[in-house]
Structure formats: C-alpha cells, structure tokens
Structure 1
C-alpha cells in the first residue's frame, strides 16, 4: 500500500503524524510526505521521504508576518471585502502546495491520503485521485465545521483541479483521551498519541539525581517567533520565590528581554519534549496541541496559558479533566499558581489517570491494518 501524508509545514502539525508514518513503514508500506519549507528537512531527519510542494516560500516567515498583521488589523467595516476568505490563514499553505502535490500524487498513485485538519490540501488530493481521505487530528480544537471552513477557503484550488469541493473524510483519527474527546465524528477512530519531537543527544544533567522538583517551561515553536518570550516573564518572577528548578525550553529564542535569570532557571536550546518531561514534575506551556498532548501522555500536572488559535480549546479540555490549571488573567500569574501546580494532589492524580488512559488507546501499529482494510474496501488498493 502507498500512503501520502499531506503535512502542513510546522512542527506542531507535522510531528504528530510521524509515529503513524513509521508504523506504516515498519509494516512494509510505502510512505511519501508532501509538505514545504523547513518541514521538508524535518521529515527527512525523521527518516521519511518528502517532496517540497511549494518551492521558494518560507512558511515560517510568512506565517509569523501574517500573525503580526492579524494582531494589528482593525476589524473590517460593514461591507468591506478586503479580508481573505475565512479559514485561509489556517489552511497553512494548502493552496500554495495544491498544484505540485496533485502532480506528485498523480504520478505516485497513493492508495490513501493522511492529513491534519489544517492540511486540507490532502483532502483535495484524495478527492482528485478518488482515494480515501484520512484525517489525523492533532488536538481538541477542530471539528468538521472547521475543516469545512478551511476547504471553503481552498475553493480556487478545487476549481483548478476540476472539483466542486472535497470528498468525505473516510476516517477521523482522534488522538485525544476518550474521557476528554470533544469529537463526535461518525467515522472516528481513536489513535494513541505517541510523542515525537525528533532525535537528540540528551544532556547528562537530565538523568542526574536531584533533590528539588523540576518544571518544564515551553512556548512551542511558533509562539516565540510571533510574540517573543514575554509570555513567560511571570514564570521567571515566580522562580525567584520558588525552590523548584525551571527548565526554559524555548527553542533557542532570544532571552534577553527576560533580564538576568535566577540560578534555578536553566535555559536550553532544544530537547525533545517527551524526553524533557520524563525528567520533570510539572509543565507550564502555551497550550499548543502537541505540547498539551505530550504533557497529558507524561502524566504531569500542567499550567496552560491557552491564548490564540486552538489553544483555548486545548486549555479548556485540560481544565475540565482536572489535570491542569488555566489562568483567568494576568492576576493569576503568581508564585502561588506555581506552588499549587507542584503541591495539588488532585491535579497529579488526574494527570496520571489520563496518562494511563492514553496508554490503553490503539497504537499506530494496531491502526495500520484498519487503514489497509479501508483502502481495500474502497477499491483503492492496487
């Protein structure tokens, strides 16, 4: 079987699909990844084959500028039509990748296409070839209505390829714990979330004995580019009143705006998040889907800032499950919040229960035969 992965060019949307791609490869199936920008290199380093479907563009720079423009834009006046189609900004370069990805797919002839909710170019390719479209969810923030909105923004590309619109999603892979799922899709399959953040040579201090709690602090890979590191200034202030150790995993961002760091704050350039959290007692983060799910998988209590994009939905799910805290506003960002994160047994118990629940979900390897059957029953297996 041949499987095309349509990957939006960002860590948080690319990496969650890598374990399924590896499982398919381990079972003897062929996998090809269509993406663009730096994600081509990330896919290559994951040991997978990739094609640059939008040569010459820098998705990271373009998205960062789009976010900055959006934050400074006034709401359109009634009747104003200068705004891009709703959903355009969050289809993450699907339009730019569509023509090349269709060309590649028509040559390679995949038996099914796997894509994220934002990677609707994958749904377009599946419709063009008449093969199953498998949506690989990445968090709590997407529904079929969101996917439909992003497909509407791709109307021009559908028209270019002789299509009136997308075909149905044949399977919706839900990686959220069943007790926390907000998805009611008719074709939902639960899939265990397996953290993947690339390889690394891990530092020795990660395994050294320690006599105080350790808190991981991260803003993911996108938010520092857009907002800088100021969202964690309060953590630095709280650290000055805490006995805990704080690991700032901010992807090599410029930390100068944070001032002089206390002795109990350790900045690091890059450590795969799953490995870092395995050596921590709690985590404070922005609320990105991959970070939220990795924290849930680790069984650690978390503080979720939850601002922008799908982050409020991820934060709300964590709060409802009782395994994390979500600040209501700047007044909540205090040392007492960190103290509660480290001492509240209820948070820790709920976090561990959630991790056990996730461990019992169908693994990527267990899901592969279902995908083979899906391709076969829809007449696409060749």
Structure 2
C-alpha cells in the first residue's frame, strides 16, 4: 500500500501523524510526505521521506491575520493590539494594517502560490498513485488530491480542537485559491471531510464531522540524550515549565511569560524544571538556585515524573501531558489554546488561566493546587489509562488497508 501525507508549515500540526508514518513503514508500506520547503529537514528528521512541493500562506501569517480580524471585529480580548500580520511588528492602531489593500495586492499572490501547491499535490498523486491520503487540518492539498484520484482521505487532528467548531474557533482554512472548483470536485466545504482521525480521549474529544477514527496519541517531541537524574525520585514534587518558542511571533511580546513563570514558582517547595530552546535559555540569563533549565528536553521523557506542567495550551504540550498523566496549568493567549484549556479544565485534569489576567500569585496558587489536590492527579491518571486502551498507530494502518481495499 502507498500512504501519502500532506502537512502544513507548522510541525506541531502534523505531530500526530508521525507515528502513523512509522507504523506504515514498519508494516512494509511506502510512505511519502508532501510538505512546504520549510519543513523538509523537520520531516526528514522524523525518518519519513519529504516531497517539498507545497506552498501558500504560512501558518504564522495566517494566524496573525486571524488575530487582526478578531481585533477588527471586536473579538480580541487582550488589552494590547495584535501584531502586524505581515511584518510582525506590534500595532499602535488597527489602521496601520490596510486589510482592503492586503486583499487587493498581497492575497492574490498568496492564492496563486497556494494554487501551485494544490496543483503539485494533485500532479504528484496522479503520478505516485497513493492508496490512501492523510492530511493535517491546515493542509487541504491532501484532501483535494485524494478527491481527484478517487482514494480515501483522512484528516488528522493535532489536539482537542475539532473540524466542526463554531466559526470563530475554526481551524480548518478556506480554499482561497479556488483549487477545489478548478479541479472539478466542487467548492470546498467541511462536508468534503468524511473521516477524522482523533487522538483525543473522550474527556476532551472535540466536535468533528464525518466518521471519527480513534487513535492513541504517541508523542513526538524530538530526541535528546536521557539525563542520569531523570529517574531519581525527586525529594519534592517536580513541576515542568514548557513555554512555546514561537507564541510571541504570532501573539506578540506580551505573551512571552517564561521569566515571569520562573519567578512565580521560585521559593516554593518544588523541583522546577524548565525546557526551552537554546535562544530562550540564553535569553534567560541567571535563574534562581534550584531551577533546572534544559535545552529542548523531549516532554515525553520528562513528564511521567512530573506532578504538574505549566504551558501555553499548545496541542503538543497538552497531548503529551495527557499521555503522561500529568495535571496541567495552561495559560493561554489565543482562541484555539483557550478552547483546549477549557476542555482540560472541564475534564478535571487542569486549571486554566487567561494569559492577560494571570499574575504571580494566581500562578503560584494554581500550581500548588494541582500538586496538593489528589483529585487532579487521579483524574489525569484515569484519562492516561483511557488513552492506553485506544487503537494504536498499527491498528490505524490496518484500518487504512481495509479502507483502501474498499
């Protein structure tokens, strides 16, 4: 069987799909990953074969545009303005970005680039003839290619936000290039999504359309040597701080809370472990005694021994924590991460704080509650145990074989 993946320009959007690719290859199937050129190295590092032919609006620009629309429509909840969608500079006034001019002059070129990516995906699918196609929610090229050549397509969610959320929470983009119509499959709509691979346990399962295909989430957070101290029993509860390395590029400098979070937990009877990029580690400078700072430590190694994790509500942190059974404190700055955090809170596995309202005392109180209240740990353990009973990536590939055989 030939399995084709298409992925977006943001690596956490396709992290769910990596283990499925491994399983397919281990079972003797051929796997290819259509991706933007920017993802070539990242895909290669996972052990899968990239085909860098996709193009279009990058995820950073797309998210900044959405945040600008939220502000223009009065839905932006923060006391500061969003970033300029194209330059990334903080706006002093919404008038500094001319949305009408963008739609006249910039969007047509981006639509043309997206069209070239859609065409490349269809052309590759016609030549390589995959038996099944999987794609992330923001990579609709896979859906179109599958429709054109008449094979099954499955959308793979990255976390607890689904395909059929209310309009203001939508993560599936529209087809600004008109490629679905141009290739003869009709105008794009969510009704074209017939199968959704959902890695979420029942407690945080999002709304989807079509058939929900369950999957056990297998974390992929990169690789690093395992430190000697990792399996030592900590004398105090171990708490992880994992902050997004790119949140500020989309949500602005006010969303960069790493130094404040470290300061908030300083002095508590906790073992605090921070994992960050090399640039963020260097920018931190000296940290309080007793704070352990690590460079890109994979969360799947670190979290099983943690009593709690503090993070920004991103899907990778959220899902890895759920798999590990660690209670969570998401502190959020975007609509998507807020939805995720609300579902974690409702499931009883975490406490949610809005990023613009969270102060030092609130963070300290929330972490101490997560660590001291056994209910959070118990509930997180129950959700972890449910995840372990879900179909594995091997089970999914077996189902793909049956789906392709029909």
When normalised by structure 1's length, the TM-score is: 0.86
Specify the alignment match of 1:30 in structure 2. Answer: 30
Specify the alignment match of 1:230 in structure 2. Answer: 256
Unaligned runs of 5+ in 2: 68-82
Q: In the superposition, relative to structure 1, how do residues 102 and 73 fare at CA in structure 2: closer, same or farther (>3 Å)?
A: farther
Following the alignment from structure 1 to structure 2, what is the Cα–Cα distance between the partners of residues 309 and 6? 25
Specify the alignment match of 2:226 in structure 1. Answer: 202
Superimposed CA distance per residue, residues 243-294 of structure 1 (whole angstroms, 9 cap, x where no aligned partner): 2122221222335665631112222221111112123221000001121111
1:307 to partner: Cα distance: 1.9
Q: In the superposition, relative to structure 1, how do residues 304 and 368 fare at CA in structure 2: closer, same or farther (>3 Å)?
A: same
1:170 to partner: Cα distance: 3.3
- The question of 1:293 aligning with 2:330 is answered no
Q: In the superposition, relative to structure 1, how do residues 65 and 269 fare at CA in structure 2: closer, same or farther (>3 Å)?
A: farther
1:330 to partner: Cα distance: 2.2
Following the alignment from structure 1 to structure 2, what is the Cα–Cα distance between the partners of residues 60 and 186? 25
The question of whether the paired residues in 2 share the 8 Å contact of 1:37 and 1:59 is answered with no
- The question of 1:69 aligning with 2:84 is answered yes
Following the alignment from structure 2 to structure 1, what is the Cα–Cα distance between the partners of residues 170 and 315? 20
The number of residue pairs the alignment matches comes to 371
Q: Of 103, 120, 124, which aligns to 1:104?
A: 124
Following the alignment from structure 2 to structure 1, what is the Cα–Cα distance between the partners of residues 297 and 57? 24
Following the alignment from structure 1 to structure 2, what is the Cα–Cα distance between the partners of residues 155 and 297? 38
Specify the alignment match of 2:274 in structure 1. Answer: 248
Specify the alignment match of 1:182 in structure 2. Answer: 206
Q: In the superposition, relative to structure 1, how do residues 188 and 28 fare at CA in structure 2: closer, same or farther (>3 Å)?
A: same
Unaligned runs of 5+ in 1: 378-382
The question of whether the paired residues in 2 share the 8 Å contact of 1:36 and 1:54 is answered with yes
Counting only pairs closer than 5 Å after superposition, residues 149-188 of structure 1 correspond to structure 2 as 150=172, 152-166=174-188, 168-188=192-212
* More displaced stretch, 234-243 vs 297-306: 234-243
1:59 to partner: Cα distance: 4.9
Q: In the superposition, relative to structure 1, how do residues 137 and 64 fare at CA in structure 2: closer, same or farther (>3 Å)?
A: closer
1:142 to partner: Cα distance: 2.5
Specify the alignment match of 1:283 in structure 2. Answer: 309
- Helix, strand or coil at the partner of 2:42: helix
The question of whether the paired residues in 1 share the 8 Å contact of 2:161 and 2:207 is answered with no
1:65 to partner: Cα distance: 7.4
- The question of 1:125 aligning with 2:145 is answered yes
Following the alignment from structure 2 to structure 1, what is the Cα–Cα distance between the partners of residues 394 and 210? 22
Following the alignment from structure 1 to structure 2, what is the Cα–Cα distance between the partners of residues 251 and 338? 23
Q: Of 197, 206, 215, which aligns to 2:239?
A: 215
Q: In the superposition, relative to structure 1, how do residues 44 and 353 fare at CA in structure 2: closer, same or farther (>3 Å)?
A: same
CA RMSD of superposed structures (Å): 3.2
* More displaced stretch, 331-340 vs 67-76: 67-76
Specify the alignment match of 2:393 in structure 1. Answer: 364
Superimposed CA distance per residue, residues 84-120 of structure 1 (whole angstroms, 9 cap, x where no aligned partner): 59x99xx9x8556323222222211111110111111
Q: Of 194, 215, 225, which aligns to 1:191?
A: 215
1:323 to partner: Cα distance: 0.8
Following the alignment from structure 2 to structure 1, what is the Cα–Cα distance between the partners of residues 103 and 57? 20
Specify the alignment match of 2:344 in structure 1. Answer: 318
- Helix, strand or coil at the partner of 1:179: helix
Specify the alignment match of 1:380 in structure 2. Answer: none
Specify the alignment match of 1:116 in structure 2. Answer: 136
When normalised by structure 2's length, the TM-score is: 0.81
* More displaced stretch, 61-70 vs 219-228: 61-70
The question of whether the paired residues in 2 share the 8 Å contact of 1:301 and 1:323 is answered with yes
1:165 to partner: Cα distance: 2.7
1:189 to partner: Cα distance: 1.5
- The question of 1:144 aligning with 2:173 is answered no
